[in-house]
């Protein structure tokens, strides 16, 4: 970053008070909001985050690297529609209480930056806009598509609840001073709802921060005398498709008699008990290890040791248009990837992944075998992935897109198209 660019950024953010709202996960465990908070703090803003507590992050307030984090005790849904309603109503009430506490401490709030899901914090944004704040809607997951994918429904079956989610999404777009999309598919979806949203919708992708997310020396003990090792990292809910890995391993072990691979499943989620039972039912406890939620150092050690990365997200309305963090992290570490043939997976990974027939367990298993036995192909994938991350997809590149969003939000009154002035 040149001195001139840095001065311009600091001038935009000097003295600004920014409040990030996060409901889906605790911070800093939720990496994207944490990276955003750090980038805004580095630019000179005063930054606070409101989020739920977790088993690991239980303190009600924490000052971490100069960023204030206020946490509340959540009521999580356990995967049911009624449970999600209770979770979100409770989260909204607790968030509003903590927002007023932060407001009293700071004296004013310049920006409410809300990460979804859920799409309910436009109400808080609209309220604080009455007192001069700006509202940024940061769409991580499209809620209508999440609902359809989570409960395996099509749009005709979505009913009243789908209509409510679409309306909440629309209001989030409408009342936002700026909209952040995680990729071009999300931006196209937003503009498809209304062309009026085009000028205020920006793409800030979710790449790994290569300053910190770096490969470690492989630990051969993790392989437990197996020749090969695979890894998955991420949430374990129904739409994430971790069961495809387990079923693929059943196919390899019990039908192909291939017993040279051990797989680590890193993470947690609503489906974790079901997935553990599935491993027991298939008799795969020797071949599949669950780590639960672990710290970055241990996760990096496992991922650095793995021979291949597994991205089992099945084709559905949500996954097809979503950028998978795990793919970015595998690429950052130079790991060849097996993935179903999803639109955004192809955009992110390009030649770094082997794409197999969607939602086909045997195809996923055969893809694993192919990569494990194709050393030259894996080397080409490694070169492509590391280069693409460094040149295009890393968080260091995306930071400037985030700053552009705020530059637009803080534009002088009367300028409707800030991008034309910047250019």
Does residue 275 sit within a domain? yes
Does residue 212 sit within a domain? no
At 267, which CATH number? Answer: 3.40.50.2000
Work out whether strand 17-21 and strand 228-233 pair parallel, antiparallel, or are unpaired: unpaired
User: Same domain for 196 and 287?
Assistant: no
The count of domains in the chain is: 2
As given in the structure block, the two tokens for residue 308 are 């291949």
Handedness of CA 123, 124, 125, 129 (dihedral sign): positive
E strand or H helix that includes residue 406: helix 395-409
Q: Are 236 and 242 in contact (CB under 8 A)?
A: yes
Q: In this predicted structure, what is the pLDDT of residue 241?
A: 95
| Token pair 């793409």: residue | 203
Does residue 215 sit within a domain? no
User: Same domain for 11 and 158?
Assistant: yes
> How many angstroms separate the CA atoms of 91 and 88, rounded?
5
Does residue 283 sit within a domain? yes
Q: Are 177 and 135 in contact (CB under 8 A)?
A: yes
Residue-by-residue DSSP string for 276-296? HHHHHHHT-TTTEEEEES--H
Q: In this predicted structure, what is the pLDDT of residue 423?
A: 35
User: Same domain for 33 and 95?
Assistant: yes
Phi first, then psi: give them for residue 87, nearest 5 degrees: -60, -45
Does residue 338 sit within a domain? yes
As given in the structure block, the two tokens for residue 210 are 């290569």
As given in the structure block, the two tokens for residue 31 are 């990496």
> How many angstroms separate the CA atoms of 206 and 208, rounded?
7
Phi first, then psi: give them for residue 385, nearest 5 degrees: -65, -45
User: Same domain for 349 and 398?
Assistant: no
Strands (E), 188-242: 201-203, 228-233
User: Same domain for 154 and 178?
Assistant: yes
Does residue 214 sit within a domain? no
Contacts of 401 (CB under 8 A, 6+ apart): 202, 203, 204, 205
CB atoms within 10 A of CB 315: 18
User: Same domain for 203 and 226?
Assistant: no
**191 lies in which domain range?**
3-207+394-422
User: Same domain for 360 and 402?
Assistant: no
Residue-by-residue DSSP string for 293-332? S--HHHHHHHHHH-SEEEE-PPPSTTGGG---HHHHHHHH
Does residue 405 sit within a domain? yes
E strand or H helix that includes residue 347: helix 343-349
User: Same domain for 155 and 290?
Assistant: no
> How many angstroms separate the CA atoms of 157 and 161, rounded?
10
Does residue 139 sit within a domain? yes
Q: What is the DSSP letter of 252?
A: I
User: Same domain for 384 and 402?
Assistant: no
Q: In this predicted structure, what is the pLDDT of residue 5?
A: 64
Contacts of 387 (CB under 8 A, 6+ apart): none
Phi first, then psi: give them for residue 103, nearest 5 degrees: -60, -45
> Residue by residue, what is the 3-state secondary structure of 46-113?
EEEEEEECCCCCCCCEEEECCEEEEEECCCCCCCCHHHHHHHHHHHHHHHHHHHHHHHHHHCCCCEEE
Find the angle CA(110)-CA(39)-CA(301) to the nearest 5 degrees. Answer: 145
What does the pLDDT profile of the chain (423 residues) look like in tens digits? Answer: 566 666 677 788 989 999 999 998 999 989 999 999 999 999 999 999 999 998 889 999 999 999 999 999 998 776 677 888 899 999 999 999 999 999 999 999 999 999 999 999 999 999 999 999 999 999 999 999 999 988 888 888 889 999 999 999 999 999 999 999 999 999 999 999 999 999 999 999 988 999 989 999 999 999 999 999 999 999 998 889 999 999 999 999 999 999 999 999 999 988 999 999 999 999 999 999 999 999 889 999 999 999 999 999 999 999 999 999 999 999 999 999 999 999 999 999 999 999 999 999 999 999 999 999 999 999 999 999 999 999 999 999 999 999 999 999 998 654 455 444 443
User: Same domain for 238 and 380?
Assistant: yes
């Amino acid at each position: 970053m040149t001195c001139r660019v840095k001065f311009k950024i600091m001038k935009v953010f000097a003295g600004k008070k920014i409040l990030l709202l996060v409901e889906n996960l605790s911070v800093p465990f939720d990496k994207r909001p944490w990276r955003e908070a750090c980038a805004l703090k580095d630019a000179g803003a005063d930054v606070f985050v409101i989020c739920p507590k977790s088993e690991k992050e239980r303190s009600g307030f924490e000052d971490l690297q100069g960023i204030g984090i206020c946490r509340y005790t959540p009521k999580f849904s356990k995967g049911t529609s009624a449970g999600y309603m209770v979770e979100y109503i409770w989260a909204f009430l607790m968030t509003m209480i903590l927002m007023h506490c932060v407001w009293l401490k700071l004296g004013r709030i310049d920006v409410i930056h809300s990460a979804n899901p859920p799409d309910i914090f436009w109400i808080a944004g609209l309220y604080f806009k009455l007192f001069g704040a700006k509202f940024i809607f940061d769409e991580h997951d499209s809620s209508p598509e999440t609902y359809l994918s989570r409960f395996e429904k099509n749009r005709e079956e979505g009913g009243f609840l789908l209509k409510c989610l679409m309306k909440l999404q629309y209001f989030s777009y409408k009342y936002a001073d700026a909209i952040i999309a995680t990729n071009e598919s999300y931006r196209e979806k937003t503009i498809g709802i209304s062309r009026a949203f085009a000028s205020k919708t920006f793409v800030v992708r979710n790449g790994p921060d290569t300053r910190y997310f770096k490969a470690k020396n492989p630990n051969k003990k993790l392989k437990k005398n197996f020749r090969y090792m695979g890894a998955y990292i991420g949430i374990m809910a129904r739409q994430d498709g971790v069961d495809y890995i387990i079923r693929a391993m059943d196919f390899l072990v019990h039908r192909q008699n291939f017993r040279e691979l051990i797989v680590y499943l890193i993470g947690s989620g609503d489906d974790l008990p079901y997935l553990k039972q599935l491993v027991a039912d298939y008799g795969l406890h020797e071949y599949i290890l669950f780590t639960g939620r672990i710290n970055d150092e241990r996760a990096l050690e496992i991922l650095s040791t793995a021979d291949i990365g597994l991205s089992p997200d099945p084709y559905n309305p949500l996954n097809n248009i979503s950028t998978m963090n795990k793919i970015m992290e595998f690429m950052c570490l130079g790991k060849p990837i097996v993935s179903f043939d999803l639109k955004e997976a192809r955009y992110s990974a390009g030649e770094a992944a082997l794409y197999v027939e969607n939602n086909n367990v045997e195809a996923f298993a055969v893809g694993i075998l192919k990569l494990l036995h194709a050393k030259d192909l894996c080397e080409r994938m490694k070169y492509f992935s590391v280069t693409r991350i460094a040149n295009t997809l890393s968080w260091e590149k995306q930071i400037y897109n985030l700053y552009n969003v705020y530059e637009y939000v803080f534009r002088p009154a009367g300028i409707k198209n800030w991008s034309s002035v910047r250019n």
